[in-house]
Amino acid sequence: MPDEKIKKVSIVISKGSLEGVYPGLIMANGARMEGIEANLFFTFFGLEAIIKKKMNKLKVATVGNPAMHIPSLLGILPGMSAFATKMMKKEMEKLDIPPVGEFIEMIHDAGGKIYACKATVEMFHLTKDDFCEQVDDIIHVGKFYEVSAGGEIIFT
């Protein structure tokens, strides 16, 4: 079975920060470019990436993020998250990485499926109208497993 290729991936996005959302988007886009079926399942704060009013306003988490290489005390300073976000977006722009909304649209247009977690939607008192038009459905975890059957599940 060394020549066996991945045919389907289902990616769970649960974090609502810029650095929490982009890995899943990049992986889903890469999967579609390789002809691999891709499902994105947004849950908890990951829903921020598909809520119309919030999706293009995600920020970098500067507190409690050891990869920032700054003391948490500095991370709480006013403007620090905005500064880090601006710098990261600038670097992503150089690499031609699109903003979240555009990326979601690209993945969906390429055949990727986008789902919101029903339990989280209910917990946060959201409705289908709160989400971008690319959201295919609001599904419960059992349905997510059905959609994911026969593929790999990746939690970012």
Domain boundaries, the chain: 8-60+99-155
Give bridge partners of residue 41 from the DSSP assignment: 12, 115
**DSSP symbol at 128:** G
CB contact set of 77 (below 8 Å; sequence gap of 6+) = none
Given this model, what pLDDT does residue 149 score?
97
Taken as a whole, the chain contains a residue count of 156
Q: Which pair of tokens denotes residue 128?
A: 């289908």
pTM: 0.87
Given this model, what pLDDT does residue 23 score?
94
Contact 40, 119 (CB under 8 A): no
What string of DSSP letters covers 70-105? S-HHHHTSTTHHHHHHHHHHHHHHHTTPPPHHHHHH
Measured CA angle at 123 (ends 81, 143), to 5 deg: 105
Given this model, what pLDDT does residue 43 score?
97
What string of DSSP letters covers 35-49? T-EEEEEE-GGGGGG
Q: What element of type H or E holds 67? A: none
- Alpha-carbon distance of 58 to 21, in angstroms, equals 9
Instruction: Count each helix (H run) and each strand (E run) in the chain, helices first.
Output: 6, 5
Given this model, what pLDDT does residue 89 score?
79
pLDDT tens for each residue of the chain, 156 residues long: 566 899 999 999 999 988 899 999 999 999 999 999 999 999 999 999 999 999 999 988 766 666 666 666 566 667 777 777 777 778 888 888 899 999 999 999 999 999 999 999 999 999 999 999 999 999 999 999 999 999 999 998
- Alpha-carbon distance of 61 to 84, in angstroms, equals 8
Given this model, what pLDDT does residue 123 score?
97
Instruction: Find the Cα–Cα–Cα–Cα dihedral 107, 53, 96, 33, rounded to 10°.
Output: -10
Q: Which CATH number is 8-60+99-155 given?
A: 3.40.1260.10
